[in-house]
């Protein structure tokens, strides 16, 4: 299990990175998913573009209504509150539950989202938080809400020459409450089901997300109660068997129970 040969580049800014991607390069950040894929020889890039040398991707800014986190901010930085938290504790607690500390030390929020493993935490959590993905490519910059960024299992709207540059996450009021419950076979494993809910009386938002499905996370925007939310999900269910439906329903119920 040794990676096949590939070229390696370490650009210093986003423009240079995008140029390398346009030439067929493949982006690499924390390599917590890509590393094993290389060694298992299921990924065969000819050129690996290491994004960790790009200052901009590690930058953080805080505005009045949102916090913007560079794509290469690690799970550990979020867990340790080394970067501003727009969610009053929700993001650090999600980060702390990702895999193991060794993974969190290197794995990045942008990489996790762009990889779009349905069982990962950030696609579900960032959908719940109504985050916006800031993208840059050969044709310039664009933005898209997370809920339309992930399109399927390991698939997103990113073109091969585009890069996730940052995530803009809205600030919530002090009265916002969150529920986040996931089922893992054992500590540190990917989730079999995730339920996530957000209730912010000041912005009048009631969102619920079901994650770790056999597709992108599912969002219900006006989810006042568990019963409402689950009915919407059940109506749209595809591809999940009875066991999986049961787990997802329970995850959602327990996420709601956390904000009762």
Partner 1 sequence: MTGKGVGARLPRKEDRRFLLGQGEYVANIRLPGMLEVAFVRSPMAHGRIQAIKKPSGLESLVFTAEDLDGVKPIRAVSALKGFKPSEQPILARDKVRQVGELVAMCVAQTRAESEDLADLTEISLEELPAVVDMLEARLNPPALVHEDWGDNVFLESLVDDDLSSIQREAKVQIKRQIRTARQHMSPMEGRGVVCEWNRRLGQLVMYSAAQMPHINRAGLAECLGIDQGSIRVVAPDVGGGFGYKGILLPEEVALAWLCRRLGRPVRWIEDRREQLSANANCREHHYDLTLYADAGGKILGIDCEATVDSGAYSSYPFSACLEAAQVGSILPGPYKMDRYRCRTWSVATNKAPILPYRGVARTGVCFALELMIDAAARELGIEPHEMRLANLVQPSEMPFNNITKKHFDSGDYPEAVRRAADMIGLTKIRERQKNKEKSERRIGVGFSIYCEQAAHGTSVYYGWGIPMVPGYEQCAARLTPDGVLELRIGAHSHGQGMETTLAQVANTILGIDPDSVRLIHGDTALTPYSTGTWGSRSMVMSGGAVAAACDAIGARVKAIASKLLEVAAADLTLDSGFVCVAGTDRRLSLAEVAHVWYRKPQLLPADVDPAGLETTAGYKAKVDTGTFSYACHAAAVAVDTETGHVEILDYVIVEDGGTLVNPMIADGQVYGGTAQGVGTALYEEMPFDAQGQPLATTLADYLLPSATEVPAMRIDHLETSSPYTRFGQKGIGEGGAIAPPSAIANAVNDALAPLGVEITESPLTPRRIVEALLKVGQ
Residues in contact with partner 1 by CB under 8 A are: 1-5, 36, 40-41, 183, 185-190, 192, 242-243, 246-247, 250
In the bound complex, what is the minimum distance in angstroms from residue 77's beta carbon to partner 1? 24
In the bound complex, what is the minimum distance in angstroms from residue 164's beta carbon to partner 1? 24
In order, the DSSP letters of 110-177 are: HHHHHHT-TTSHHHHHHHHTT-EEEEEETTEEEEEEHHHHEEETTEES--TT-EEEEEEEE---TT-E
| CB-nearer residue toward partner 1: 86 or 195 | 195
In the bound complex, what is the minimum distance in angstroms from residue 63's beta carbon to partner 1? 38
| CB-nearer residue toward partner 1: 93 or 192 | 192
Query: Between vectors from CA 230 to CA 229 and to CA 236, what angle results, nearest 5°?
Result: 100
Where residue 206 falls (left for φ over 0; alpha for ψ -120 to 50; beta otherwise) is beta
Dump strand ranges (E) for 214-258.
218-220
In the bound complex, what is the minimum distance in angstroms from residue 9's beta carbon to partner 1? 20
| CB-nearer residue toward partner 1: 187 or 235 | 187
| CB-nearer residue toward partner 1: 34 or 71 | 34
């Amino acid at each position: 299990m040794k990676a096949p040969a590939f070229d390696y580049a370490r650009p210093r800014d986003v423009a240079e990175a995008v140029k390398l991607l346009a030439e067929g390069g493949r982006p690499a950040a924390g390599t917590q998913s890509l590393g094993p894929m290389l060694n298992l020889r299921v990924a065969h890039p000819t050129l690996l573009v290491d994004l960790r040398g790009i200052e901009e991707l590690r930058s953080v800014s805080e505005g009045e209504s949102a916090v913007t986190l560079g794509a290469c901010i690690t799970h550990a930085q979020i867990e340790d509150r080394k970067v501003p938290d727009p969610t009053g504790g929700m993001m650090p607690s999600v980060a702390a539950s990702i895999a193991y500390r060794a993974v969190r030390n290197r794995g990045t929020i942008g990489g996790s989202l762009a990889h779009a493993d349905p069982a990962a935490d950030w696609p579900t959590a960032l959908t719940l938080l109504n985050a916006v993905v800031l993208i840059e490519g050969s044709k310039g910059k664009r933005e898209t809400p997370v809920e339309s960024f992930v399109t399927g299992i390991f698939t997103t709207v990113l073109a091969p020459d585009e890069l996730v540059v940052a995530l803009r996450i809205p600030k919530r009021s002090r009265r916002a409450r969150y529920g986040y419950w996931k089922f893992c076979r054992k500590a540190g494993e990917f989730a079999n089901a995730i339920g996530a809910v957000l209730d912010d009386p000041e912005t009048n938002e009631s969102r619920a997300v079901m994650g770790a499905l056999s597709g992108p996370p599912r969002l219900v925007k006006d989810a006042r109660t568990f019963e409402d939310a689950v009915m919407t999900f059940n109506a749209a269910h595809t591809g999940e068997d009875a066991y999986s439906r049961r787990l997802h329903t329970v995850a959602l119920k327990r996420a709601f129970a956390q904000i009762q």
